[in-house]
Every structure is written in structure tokens, then in C-alpha cells.
Structure 1
Amino acid sequence: MTYQTLMYKTVTSQPEKGVQQIVDRIISSGRMSRQDHNLLTSTVLANGNINDGDRRLINRVFDHVQTGQLKLMDW
């Protein structure tokens, strides 16, 4: 139970960023870390609903991974 408390505290204590900002930062850096993935996932799931615009942005990240334009770091 302590582990879950710490995990959720870590995710929610980060400043909220929009999906657009997170995706732009990931794409411009050319790499995505596990922490970037967790931040993006928690931001999307915080709403409980994903809109078409956010879905397109996330697909953009996947496209960059598939084409080798984005490297996964610390996986």
C-alpha cells in the first residue's frame, strides 16, 4: 500500500502539462524516456476521456517511433 501511495503521489505531484506540450517536447528531443511515457499516460488518463486531437498527437509519437525518428530511452 505504501508503494501505491508513493507512486500516485509522484505522478500527481508533477505540474500538469497539456498533451500538446508533452508531445512537442518528446518529438523535438527525438527521444522518449519511461518518465516521458508515464507523464503522457497520466496526463491523458487524468481526464478519463481522450479527445480526437489528443489521439492524433499520441499517434504522431507512435509514427515517429515506427519510422525511427524517435528513440526510446531507459526502457
Structure 2
Amino acid sequence: MAGTVQRPSSPAIAQIVDRILDTGQLSRWEYLQLVTTMLSDYKVTEEERSYINRVLDERQMGRLQWIS
């Protein structure tokens, strides 16, 4: 059975996104956390949605490197 991914808090999302964009590196765990948060739609603010979309856009354009 798959483990549960807990939704990060708003400051945690901002910190995760800032670190990802600063380093240009995205771990699969961070990706899973962000996508789960986005898809859960549980009290996701517009600011959080914007942060997450930024990372997903950067990944889609190939500007972020996968790390372990």
C-alpha cells in the first residue's frame, strides 16, 4: 500500500518552491507533494496554486533537473 503524502502548510509550500527555483533541482518527493497539494484542492489558496504552477511550468519547460 502506498504511503500517505501530507499536504504542506502555506509557508512550507513557499519554502519548497523557493528552494526548487533557487537550485534548479526538483526531487520526486517534492514533486509528489506539490502535485498532491494541487490536486487535493483542499483549501489551496490562489497564492499556493500560483507557487505550485510556477514549479510545474518550469519543469515542463525543462528548466528543472530531477534529483534523487
TM range, smaller chain = 0.5 to 0.7
Quick check: which has more Rg, 1 or 2? 1
- Moved runs in structure 1, 4+ residues, more than 6 A? none
Greater per-residue helix proportion: 1
The answer to whether 1:18 aligns with 2:12 is yes
TM-score, with length taken from structure 1: 0.60
RMSD of the TM alignment (CA)? 2.6
Residues 42, 65 of structure 1: CA spacing in aligned structure 2 closer, same or farther, 3 A cutoff? closer
Aligned residues: 65
Unpaired runs of 5+ in structure 1?
Answer: none
Structure possessing the higher relative contact order (Cα contacts under 8 Å, 6 or more residues apart): 2
